[in-house]
């Protein structure tokens, strides 16, 4: 019986940066939703108020420019209700603070105000993922990922994770610097090691033949942040891949084998990503949207053993429905032109909840612990989830949500040599999968407990 149970920590830094700057000719009146401190006569309704200074209170760890960079207002601009509320939500969305309160105080003369930003910081060293499970090919595996989302109070994200099981293990690390020397430039770097991992050649007969491989490499990227909600990232990736040659096997076993080159090969690619993120919270958003568009190209011109181009589009939009309830809609689409190594292809179960008849598990740190080898070149996945807030406000357990989710996913291989005779993707499988569970926002991380994975334990 295959087994899998996962509690995924979803703590993530809202580091996507941008938006259009507001012209000072914009007209506005004082924000009724934000406290006005001082004599009411200092805030004439007939005149627009100009922000003379921004005062920060409570940021014992987080440095000043990290907070100001994520705000949608600046000194010299007019007071604007929407911009102030957007700034407050973006600061909460970073995950650095338990609470964020904004207020206005009298400035040096009439029509001038000081914007007071009062924050209460929270722990930013968190568990990003807990992994446990088992399957026919790996009776037990486990691992953990840790994340520091505000290293030294400078908004730097650093993470490290590992997972290990029978004949499969991986180690992964990454770092993201959201500004270099107070410039809009950003820097990212990551590394991965996969040791002596295996892929089954036949999902229904996983022990008949297995492909053994290892990977080591990393990526480095240079980004440009534009404002507080969007960014563009250019990244270079280099990996060396070692694959053992297969023994003499019948054609029906070789045909569905994952796409890869034997012996030593190199993956060298360049990717360009555009990301815009206006969500008020990366964990359970109640407003805003996220859009990420990416293209990755691998070619012999930059020393790669593989020739392919990979296109991806990932979108999410969130709504506040009733009181503390939220609806989130998602869409993911991807297409690969050429022959990519299987670990760069789309894996069906990465984009679907529990579905009866599916004998596969989501990959962990890019490693497949299930007997399935459903790697595809084309995928479309649409989903929705609805969250109900059950609890809020304790010192350790900040928020608790009950959520309901559904996902509709289709995938297909465009390579006839890699086609699965049992059928996969649009041809024989267009499943609607479901999930229900709890989401916990705690002092040590954000966690999702999924009933879909519990069902995988028994079915």
Which strands form 36-37's sheet, in the order they lie side by side? 36-37, 97-106, 112-121, 50-57
What's the whole-number average pLDDT of the chain?
82
**Residue 236's pLDDT band (boundaries 50, 70, 90)?**
very high
| Percent of the chain clearing pLDDT 70 (strictly above) | 81
What are the CA-CA distances from residue 27 to residues 21, 24, 219 (Å)? Answer: 14, 8, 46
Name the one residue in this structure whose structure tokens are 């805003």.
288
CB 174 within 8 A of CB 158: yes
CB 354 within 8 A of CB 365: no
Question: Does pTM surpass 0.75?
Answer: yes
Query: What's the CA angle centered on 151, arms 448 and 188, to 5 degrees?
Result: 85
Query: Residue 12: what pLDDT?
Result: 31
Torsion of CA 55, 60, 61, 62, to 10 degrees: -10
Ramachandran angles phi, psi of 41, nearest 5°: -65, -15
In this predicted structure, the answer to whether residue 303 has a pLDDT above a threshold of 90 is yes
In this predicted structure, the answer to whether residue 444 has a pLDDT above a threshold of 70 is yes
Q: Which of 203-212, 314-323, 431-440 has the lowest mean pLDDT?
A: 203-212
| Cα 76 to Cα 258: distance, rounded to the nearest angstrom | 58
Query: Residue 257: what pLDDT?
Result: 76
Cα-only R_g, the chain: 24
In this predicted structure, the answer to whether residue 349 has a pLDDT above a threshold of 80 is yes
Query: Residue 206: what pLDDT?
Result: 65
Query: Residue 63: what pLDDT?
Result: 92
Cβ partners under 8 Å of residue 360, min gap 6: 203, 347, 348, 349, 370, 371, 372, 374
Count of CA atoms in the C-beta half-sphere (13 A) of 120: 5
When mean pLDDT is compared over 89-93, 305-309, 395-399, 427-431, the highest value belongs to 305-309
Query: Residue 456: what pLDDT?
Result: 67
Query: What's the CA angle centered on 410, arms 409 and 412, to 5 degrees?
Result: 150
Cα distance from N-terminal residue to C-terminal residue, the chain: 8
Query: Residue 180: what pLDDT?
Result: 84
- The mean pLDDT value for 22-31 works out to 33
Q: Which of 3-17, 200-214, 245-259 has the lowest mean pLDDT?
A: 3-17
CB 260 within 8 A of CB 212: no
Q: Which of 143-157, 188-202, 393-407, 409-423 has the lowest mean pLDDT?
A: 409-423
Specify the higher pLDDT residue, 325 or 456: 325
- The mean pLDDT value for 117-142 works out to 88
Write out the two tokens for 391: 């609890």
Q: Which of 34-48, 223-237, 333-347, 388-402 has the lowest mean pLDDT?
A: 34-48
Provide the 3-class DSSP secondary structure of residue 371. Answer: coil
Write out the two tokens for 78: 């007019």
In terms of DSSP H, where are the helices of 333-395?
none
**Residue 90's pLDDT band (boundaries 50, 70, 90)?**
confident
In this predicted structure, the answer to whether residue 1 has a pLDDT above a threshold of 60 is no
Name the one residue in this structure whose structure tokens are 């390579």.
415
The CATH number that domain 125-458 falls under is 2.40.160.50
Q: Which of 210-214, 216-220, 352-356 has the lowest mean pLDDT?
A: 352-356
């Amino acid at each position: 019986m295959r087994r899998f149970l996962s509690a995924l920590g979803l703590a993530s830094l809202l580091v996507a940066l941008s938006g259009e700057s507001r012209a000072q000719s914009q007209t506005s009146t004082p924000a009724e939703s934000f406290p006005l401190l001082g004599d009411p006569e200092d805030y004439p309704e007939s005149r627009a108020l100009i922000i003379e200074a921004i005062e920060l209170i409570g940021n014992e760890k987080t440095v000043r420019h990290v907070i100001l960079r994520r705000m949608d207002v600046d000194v010299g601009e007019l007071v604007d209700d929407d911009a102030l509320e957007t700034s407050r939500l973006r600061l909460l969305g970073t995950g650095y603070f338990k609470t964020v309160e904004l207020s206005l105080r009298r400035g040096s003369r009439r029509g001038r105000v000081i914007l007071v930003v009062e924050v209460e910081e929270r722990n930013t060293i968190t568990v990003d993922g807990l992994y446990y499970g088992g399957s026919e090919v790996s009776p037990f595996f486990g691992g953990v990922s840790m994340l520091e989302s505000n290293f030294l109070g400078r908004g730097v994200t650093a993470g490290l994770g590992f997972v290990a099981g029978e004949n499969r293990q991986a180690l992964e690390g990454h770092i993201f610097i959201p500004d270099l020397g107070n410039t809009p430039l950003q820097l990212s770097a990551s590394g991965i090691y996969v040791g002596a991992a295996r892929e089954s050649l036949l999902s229904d007969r996983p022990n008949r033949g297995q492909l053994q491989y290892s990977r080591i490499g990393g990526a480095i990227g240079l980004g440009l942040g534009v404002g507080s909600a969007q960014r563009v990232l250019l990244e270079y990736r280099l990996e060396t891949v070692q694959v053992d040659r297969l023994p003499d096997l019948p054609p029906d076993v070789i045909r569905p084998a994952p796409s890869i080159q034997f012996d030593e090969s190199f993956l060298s690619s360049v990717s360009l990503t555009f990301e815009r993120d206006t969500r008020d919270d990366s964990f359970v958003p109640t407003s805003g949207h996220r859009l990420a568009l990416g293209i990755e190209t691998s070619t012999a011109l930059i020393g790669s053993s593989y020739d392919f181009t990979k296109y991806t589009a990932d979108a999410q939009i969130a709504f506040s429905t009733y009181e503390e309830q939220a609806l989130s809609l998602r869409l993911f689409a991807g297409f690969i032109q050429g022959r990519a190594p299987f670990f760069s292809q789309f894996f069906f179960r990465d984009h679907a909840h529990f579905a009866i008849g599916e004998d596969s598990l989501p990959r962990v740190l890019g490693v497949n612990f299930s007997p399935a080898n459903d790697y595809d070149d084309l995928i479309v996945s649409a989903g929705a989830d609805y969250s109900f807030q059950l609890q809020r406000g304790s010192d350790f357990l900040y928020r608790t949500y009950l959520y309901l989710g559904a996902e509709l996913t289709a995938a297909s291989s465009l390579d006839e040599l890699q086609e699965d005779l049992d059928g996969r993707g649009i041809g024989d499988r267009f499943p609607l999968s479901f999930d229900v569970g709890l989401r916990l926002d705690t002092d040590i991380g954000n966690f999702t407990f999924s009933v879909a994975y519990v069902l995988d334990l028994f079915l």
